[in-house]
Structure 1
């Protein structure tokens, strides 16, 4: 049924600041911004070996749930400690510290400056599949 991550959307009240921050994190400006004129409301990047789609949308478009819900999406990184430290240096705050999980898996999470939870994972499975 599921064939892969097609799009990850994060939300923010300050799209210009989030675009600048994630451009620093991802090392590139977004390839797609809407609207093309005026204040941006949506921006997309492609990143990683599979060119996964990462997007920011203005919080006015946030889906509203009757009860709390959500998901933690973890991004594979080759050096979790260095990645975690870099995100902290860029202004994220630690949520879960770098933690070995067994079998070579290591995880951590941060909260970006816009309130989004971002997971990091150093996954031997992902690394082997993309070697």
Structure 2
């Protein structure tokens, strides 16, 4: 799940306390945690996606196939599948009501 934050340092401290682990990735543009099999990312000012609320990602076996499937069903692509490192592919689509849906494939 990605969370837009206004103050990365303050948010990092809160999520480290909440999750009980230090960040796995700690950069000025992104802080990521891995805890209890979940990934939690912090994006200053909504990051490149311009998030204004948290974004959950659905884990899928084949992100390109799932993008094709949901667009055929009526969603539109916001961000095509892209490699974000560590063997992870992500994409975002928008449902017919304007809700952002994240798709994630671990290779």
Give TM-score, length-normalised by structure 1.
Answer: 0.42
* Structural RMSD (CA): 2.0
Match of 1:81 among 64, 78, 81: 64
Q: Which structure has the greater CA radius of gyration?
A: 1
Shift of 1:71: 1.1
d(CA) in 2 for partners of 1:85, 1:77: 13
Structure 1: state its 5+ residue gaps: 3-67, 125-131
Alignment correspondent of 2:75: 92
1:84 aligned counterpart, secondary structure: helix
Structure 2: state its 5+ residue gaps: 1-17, 20-50
- The correspondence of residues 51-66 of structure 1 with structure 2, limited to 5 A, is none
1:69 correspondence with 2:73: no
Moved over 3 A (4+): none
- Matched residue pairs, number? 60
Which structure has more strand as a fraction of its residues? 2
1:69 aligned counterpart, secondary structure: coil
d(CA) in 2 for partners of 1:116, 1:123: 23
d(CA) in 1 for partners of 2:62, 2:70: 12
Give TM-score, length-normalised by structure 2.
Answer: 0.51
